[in-house]
Structure 1
Amino acid sequence: MNDFDSDPLYPGASVTLGAFMLLLAVFTSRYNLIGEATEQLLKIIALALPHGHKLCSSLYEFKLFFKNLRNPLVRHYYCNHCLGYVENTSVSNCPYEFCGATFSGKNSCYFIEMPLENQVKNLFAQNGFYNSLGHRFNKTKSTRNSYEDIYDGHLYKNLCENNGVLSFQENISFTFNTDGAPVFKSSKTSIWPIYLIINELPYKQRMNKENMILAALWYGNKKPSMGTYLKPFLQSLKKLSEGIQCESPDKGIFVCKGLLLCGTADLPARSLLCNHVQYNGAFSCWKCEQEGESASVGRGHARIFPFEHQNPKGPERTKENVLQHAREAVDHQQVTMGKPVKGIKGPSWLHFVPHFNIVSGMAIDYMHGVLLGVQKMMLELWFGAKYKGKDFNINNRVCEVDNRLQSIRPTLDVTRLPRSIEKDLKYWKASEFRSFLLYFGGPVLHGILDKDRFSHYLLLVDSMHILLKCGSTDKDLDKAESLLIRFCSRFENLYERCFLRLNVHQLLHLPDCVRNLGPLYTHSCFSFESKNGIVLKMIRGSQSIDTQIITAISFIQKLPELKQKCIVKDSEIDMLCKIIENPSFLKRGQKLDDGIYILGASYGRCLTNNEVGALQQFLKHDPIVNTYTSFNRVEYGAYVIYGTEYSRMIKRNNSAVCYQGESGICFGEVMFFILCQNTSNIVQPLVFIKKLFCRNYNEDLHILSVTETNDIEVAHIRSLLSSCMLVAYPGTQKSFVCKFPNRLESD
């Protein structure tokens, strides 16, 4: 890092050069300023600064400031014809006999490696990073047997037993992902980054872009040859598994071992990584050896997996039999003319990664498989015009469904407002399918979808809520597995055999994914997809794209260094930086208690007669005063709760809560909050709630029917148990409250 980062921006300035450059970096990144705009901005600011300032005036100097020289880049060359790895770049022809194409040395194709060792060392050098890795040891006795994170899965626990590698805080494990992301709409050019996240960090922290590790980058108009691309990646993982020397401000000098625990990818990328047939081939399930069968679909054919009543999710694939089939595929390649053995084309580099289980360690990604797969297909079956006349199609009621759907006011947790199925379904993002599956679908389809198909759909809804839940138990997973078996076994009778695709079959293996790797959200592609978006936004032109991306990654990785060295936590500059990065960032006001903050302004309030009566019932005596300090928004632990009297909340509803009332567990809508002084002169924060009547409460259900009332109940703010999603739409008195499966995953 530059020695002058902590110097004043100009003589006598209260802001340092590093802090000012950090703000500029966050600003240009957030608003996607192109290079020319950034350079002009630098010159405009320089005009206003006094003589002797240290602000750079050119784009080159600006980029140079952020260039992370501690992460050297390594270029690996390959033949553009056969994609084979080329060790010696001085040769004139491809060294592989079957190819022999002209090889033009350093002008040839290459991919870039960012050595893992350097990036891991840089992360450990940050203040507090080592201490954050102890997060996994903080489980209480009551939650020790539940699945809250990836380290609660069997694969992680196996590496902790008997003083295993991951039982020590200085050792870490990775989840990796790679997938193609198109750079331009008008060409086949794409990037294939290999990302890693460190599982031991707290979930929110491990998903931050500053803590991502970009291990390698393939760029071009061809998909990578994984035998070529993964070769240096394997060498880096082997070195990490043996241990590297790191230094941390929290720990000092120590040896860190790093292991690959999990991989996640969509079906096409997974087939490349594992050297396995595509999703439309025989034996294309990666978890079992069911062959499937070919079925006619329109003018073509598709691979389907009819439900096997005797052995729904078997015969099981194992690491051992996959390796055996890979050897057989190679040994008999000439005899079988390259025919795969049980779907295995040959060995994968992942077979040889230390401690990695290529079968149970390769996760089924629910984002692609369930949301963009099963849920999207079911919506198309119900409402698609091409299925008109089918028993399962209700296209004639799509307008009614759309009216219900678009009248819903979701919480702020859902970033996208509900969109029309009839007009916009083909544009829906994965997060919209998730919202429909977990919250909107059941209430919206109630009374519209026929009884058999509605109850069948709820099997999927309930099971996915369990598998995404933070804190599911083995009993919960057994229940989810039972629900999914019923869902898959009934699918053919309610729809058609030709729709029993691989994504439907894979549902049967999802409970085992949770048992091995923790809740589905811990190893989904959602976080990696967002990282691809960050990288692609930083590509400003069509020239030297690989160099642009590497500059952008170095740019991202230096930001936490500047934050630690140049910005005081919770200072004015820190607040400004957070607001630029996240415009919806809510500035905390008065602290009421641990984890409870007022958001926005407070004001004086006189209560109505009904409100005074509710307060009197809570206090068990007459209120002492007539006017109270009132406020409409609070941050309460993991929740942000808005009262219904917050007038600016028009298209959203953040007021629904589950709380401990006088009669037990209750639901309601928060109206407002007050500060009330009790007889002991202690000020306590109270909440006024308009009750929602729930006739048949069941703690195992995550969607419950409620009826609006005019009853008001007052409770202490600590009585709030959780925020909920209230689904209400015109034309019916019945509403629904939906519980969130977890508070960690975000869109």
Structure 2
Amino acid sequence: MSERNFQKYYMRVKRANVKENDDDSSQKVSKNKSCINKESHLCSISDTLEHQIGIETVEQTSETESEPDSIIVHMGADISRSTANSIPLKSKLIDWAQKYNIPNNATSDLLKLLQNYVGEDLPLDARTLLHTARVVNLKEVMPGQYYHFGLQQAIVHILSSQQNYFKNINVLEINVNVDGLPLSKSSSSQVYPILISIVGEIKCVAMVGLYHGYDKPKNSNEFLYNFMQDAVKLTYNGLEANGKHFQVKIKAIICDAPAKSFVKCIRGHTGYSSCSKCYIRGSFKDKMYFREIDNLVLRTDEQFRAKNDEDHHTGYSILEEIPNLDMINSFPLDYMHLVCLGMVKKILYLLCFGTPQTKIPHAKVTAISQSLLNLSSNIPIEFNRKPRSLSDLKRWKATEFRQVLFYTGPIIFKKHLSPDRYLNFLCLHVAFSILSSQRHSSLLPYATELLKFFVKTFQQLYGITNTSHNVHNLLHIADDVKLHGPIDNFSAFEFENFLQSILKSLRKNEKPLQQIVKRYSEKIERLENRQASTNLPLLKHEHRNGPLIENCDLNAQQFKAVSFEKFTLKLVLQIIAAF
């Protein structure tokens, strides 16, 4: 590895970190006076690298939640800079390589360069440093391959990383997610991960298994077989972890409509008998639509297992073998796909790109876009994204549609939509504000009636043929809230964040399944060796730039952000107006 390439990987870290002040820079230079010519430069780099890796953090803004900071300090903890510097260089290198997804050959070359300039004993190969698995045993699942991490291992990983939270919990309720993820825009390469989380305040996702192929698995039962075996065993026997016994229950399987029809072996969302909650039969006029609103006959677990509606089923699902899994109620409707990427997106598309009967004038579309952009500077950092123009609507993400539903929509649409369309949207907004709140659970009947009124007026305003599978299922989501709690308890948002980390773990097109398995195993190995801090509040982004109040210790630690359970306070260069 040339000096130039070495500097490239080093500068990736340096640019992301807060710049050191001039005094610190002079100290680093003086510390390495003994080095001359090229060796002098390498000594300086290695010393700086040892000083910076894992101490200062990178501020990230993305669709997904950023990874935990390398060093996070609890407000009550007495942690000095010398303590941070006492962390072994080997541990800092592991964090650095994983955080920035450094290729193994670059990490190996860095290790070899550091051998002569640091006192600590370091391995010469990145695979030894990161404990990379040498062999990945894959199972053939047509038309691709599958790797099984194990349900018990996934649960134990979550328990180990959050030991304090689970001290007083004896029953683990598991949410499961199955969804497809394309790996490339230029090919049909795709993965289908099986993900889990444990129901509760701690949002931590682990991977049970992973399929890769150039088409989805042909047989869902073959794909889910190992997961089903693990689920049956753990449901009957429970598991031992952290010195105590836990009971295990599969609480919910959360999927979008195509994935749900795949794992349950039922008709897809374009079928006549596609509703997974009731016996409504759709009508077809250019596209499938569902007319009825009242007097819907609900499906039951017993009827599903008896296959009494033959047109609804396409086969037998192996998931029926999991004890206490209700094949109707254990498959709640996910509002990320149903409402954010479904209903809200549909309304905006009808307004912007619909038929002459549904769309609004271009001048109003422009005015709405400008209003969204005007709000951008007033959006706090708790939101993953700032509002964008409707000209970018086809590239909007789920969080942006959620922002319109809960926050910006009622403000923006009031001036630009007709009263009847604005009232229609407000019904959706108020209903889901209720469904997302534990505090307002007593208003569930009102939310149910609001959604019925929304569907009825939607048919009148936008046409009955636009009453798609998603629109119809709004009539059922309140029932899922009664069983599972607020909609965020069974949404796919936390799993969607994890899917993005899978994409980031790919370094080349060759052998994607093996790459993902190795990168994920490396992270698990690292996390199991240190317990994640759940103490709040957390101080982040240490700096040394002041200003300090009078009589303050000049050596006191300074930070740029403090995170509480549901919000963050952060130093910025400008005053942000209240939203």
Q: TM-score, normalised on structure 1? A: 0.60
Contact 2:541 2:560 in 1 (8 A): no
Cα distance between partner residues in 2 of 1:569 and 1:373: 34
Instruction: Please say if 1:407 is aligned against 2:374.
Output: yes
Give the secondary-structure state (helix, strand or coil) at the position aligned to 1:362.
coil
Aligned pairs (5 A) from 1:240-255: 240-248=234-242, 252=243, 254-255=244-245
Residue of structure 1 in register with 2:67 after alignment = none
Change in CA separation of 1:39 and 1:444 when aligned onto 2, cut-off 3 Å: same
Give the secondary-structure state (helix, strand or coil) at the position aligned to 1:464.
helix
Contact 2:272 2:281 in 1 (8 A): yes
Give the one of 400, 413, 416 matched to 1:445: 413
Instruction: Please say if 1:60 is aligned against 2:127.
Output: yes
Change in CA separation of 1:601 and 1:288 when aligned onto 2, cut-off 3 Å: farther
Instruction: Please say if 1:324 is aligned against 2:252.
Output: no
Give the one of 361, 383, 390 matched to 1:394: 361
Give the one of 132, 141, 146 matched to 1:111: 146
Cα distance between partner residues in 2 of 1:255 and 1:442: 48
Aligned amino acid, residue 140 of structure 2: Y
Instruction: Please say if 1:133 is aligned against 2:202.
Output: no
Residue of structure 2 in register with 1:479 after alignment = 446
Residue of structure 2 in register with 1:290 after alignment = 280
Contact 1:394 1:449 in 2 (8 A): no
Cα distance between partner residues in 1 of 2:154 and 2:564: 36
Structure 1 residue 345: Cα displacement:
1.5
Aligned amino acid, residue 60 of structure 1: R
Residue of structure 2 in register with 1:383 after alignment = 352
Cα distance between partner residues in 1 of 2:457 and 2:108: 62
Cα distance between partner residues in 1 of 2:115 and 2:492: 42
Structure 1 residue 128: Cα displacement:
5.9
Per-residue CA distance 1:529-574 (angstroms, 9 max, x = gap): 111111221111122222211111111212223324xx9999xxxx
Unaligned regions of 5+ residues in structure 1, if any? 1-8, 81-108, 136-168, 296-300, 329-339, 580-584, 590-598, 605-630, 657-725, 727-747
Backbone CA RMSD of aligned residues: 3.2
Residue of structure 1 in register with 2:258 after alignment = 268
Unaligned regions of 5+ residues in structure 2, if any? 1-49, 51-81, 551-558
Cα distance between partner residues in 1 of 2:490 and 2:322: 19
Per-residue CA distance 1:321-361 (angstroms, 9 max, x = gap): 11111xx6xxxxxxxxxxx7141112211111111111111
Structure 1 residue 228: Cα displacement:
0.6
Q: TM-score, normalised on structure 2? A: 0.77
Residue of structure 2 in register with 1:218 after alignment = 211
Residue of structure 2 in register with 1:189 after alignment = 189
Structure 1 residue 79: Cα displacement:
5.1
Contact 1:467 1:519 in 2 (8 A): yes
Structure 1 residue 635: Cα displacement:
5.9
Instruction: Please say if 1:302 is aligned against 2:287.
Output: yes
Give the one of 216, 233, 247 matched to 1:239: 233
Instruction: Please say if 1:552 is aligned against 2:501.
Output: no
Change in CA separation of 1:271 and 1:555 when aligned onto 2, cut-off 3 Å: same
Aligned pairs (5 A) from 1:98-177: 110-121=145-156, 124=159, 126=160, 129=163, 131-133=164-166, 169-177=169-177
Residue of structure 2 in register with 1:164 after alignment = none
Give the secondary-structure state (helix, strand or coil) at the position aligned to 1:444.
helix
Give the secondary-structure state (helix, strand or coil) at the position aligned to 2:474.
helix
Instruction: Please say if 1:523 is aligned against 2:508.
Output: no
Residue of structure 2 in register with 1:640 after alignment = 568
Give the secondary-structure state (helix, strand or coil) at the position aligned to 1:489.
helix
Structure 1 residue 36: Cα displacement:
2.9
Residue of structure 2 in register with 1:365 after alignment = 334
Cα distance between partner residues in 1 of 2:104 and 2:313: 47
Contact 1:293 1:303 in 2 (8 A): yes
Change in CA separation of 1:347 and 1:415 when aligned onto 2, cut-off 3 Å: same
What percent of counterpart residues are identical? 25
Cα distance between partner residues in 2 of 1:206 and 1:343: 34
Change in CA separation of 1:236 and 1:373 when aligned onto 2, cut-off 3 Å: same
Change in CA separation of 1:257 and 1:568 when aligned onto 2, cut-off 3 Å: closer
Change in CA separation of 1:247 and 1:442 when aligned onto 2, cut-off 3 Å: closer
Change in CA separation of 1:588 and 1:321 when aligned onto 2, cut-off 3 Å: farther
Structure of higher RCO (CA pairs closer than 8 Å, 6+ residues apart): 2
Cα distance between partner residues in 2 of 1:292 and 1:286: 13
- Bigger fraction of residues in helix: 2
Structure 1 residue 34: Cα displacement:
2.5
Contact 2:382 2:568 in 1 (8 A): no
Cα distance between partner residues in 2 of 1:307 and 1:194: 35
Contact 2:94 2:129 in 1 (8 A): no
Give the one of 448, 454, 477 matched to 2:422: 454
Change in CA separation of 1:525 and 1:647 when aligned onto 2, cut-off 3 Å: closer
Cα distance between partner residues in 2 of 1:178 and 1:508: 24
Aligned amino acid, residue 303 of structure 1: M
Give the secondary-structure state (helix, strand or coil) at the position aligned to 2:497.
helix
Aligned amino acid, residue 301 of structure 2: K
Contact 1:382 1:395 in 2 (8 A): no
Cα distance between partner residues in 2 of 1:531 and 1:128: 17
Number of matched pairs: 487
Structure 1 residue 508: Cα displacement:
1.0
Structure 1 residue 30: Cα displacement:
2.8
Contact 1:19 1:563 in 2 (8 A): no
Change in CA separation of 1:44 and 1:479 when aligned onto 2, cut-off 3 Å: farther
Change in CA separation of 1:247 and 1:457 when aligned onto 2, cut-off 3 Å: closer
Cα distance between partner residues in 2 of 1:226 and 1:127: 31
Structure 1 residue 181: Cα displacement:
0.7
Residue of structure 2 in register with 1:30 after alignment = 99
Give the secondary-structure state (helix, strand or coil) at the position aligned to 1:563.
coil
Deviates more, 1:480-489 or 1:256-265: 256-265
Give the secondary-structure state (helix, strand or coil) at the position aligned to 1:363.
coil
